[in-house]
Amino acid sequence: MSKNKPDSIIQQFRTVSRQYSDASIFMHEAIARKAGLTGSDHKYLGLIIQHKELSAGELAKITGLTTGAVTGLIDRLEKKKLVKRHFTEADRRKVMIVPNEENTMKLLQPLFHDLQQRTSALIASFSLTEIRAIERYFVEATLVMKEVTDTINNK
């Protein structure tokens, strides 16, 4: 039990958090299918976009994927013209993955439009104090999940 918080409150929070996580996975899988992607490819594409450019090795390290799995991922995304491979001038063996944001947005934006509208309205219904508390939870929970993932991957 956490300090000054009954077990029932903690358990209810965990239940709601798990339901949110499940709903998020199911929604992203549905969006990915509609876009002709796998759920994993969709999420990894988002990661590549966030970084603007990644080497294949960096992507493998961040995701925990094998280099062979990364090659397959790049092949699938490149075939759909969502990323391009670039070889560095200094080392032609080093492959950089660069997202094609224009093609990605054309593909995914229509599928995210309703979600973005509805979540914007939801966020607007909270006070600034509530938004900061929710943001703090997501930031800190993300750090916890990253640490657990690193621990699992390094065992």
Q: Where are the domains of the chain?
A: 7-124
pLDDT in tens, 68-89: 999 999 999 999 999 999 887 7
Nearest Cα neighbor of 24 from 134, 139, 112, 120 is 112
Give per-residue pLDDT as tens, 97-116. 999 999 999 999 999 999 99
- Looking at 1.10.3720.10, 1.10.760.10, 3.90.550.50, 1.10.10.10, the CATH number of the domain 7-124 comes to 1.10.10.10
Report the C-alpha gap between 93 and 30 in whole angstroms. 36
Cα–Cα distance measured from residue 97 to residue 86, given in angstroms and rounded to the nearest whole number:
6
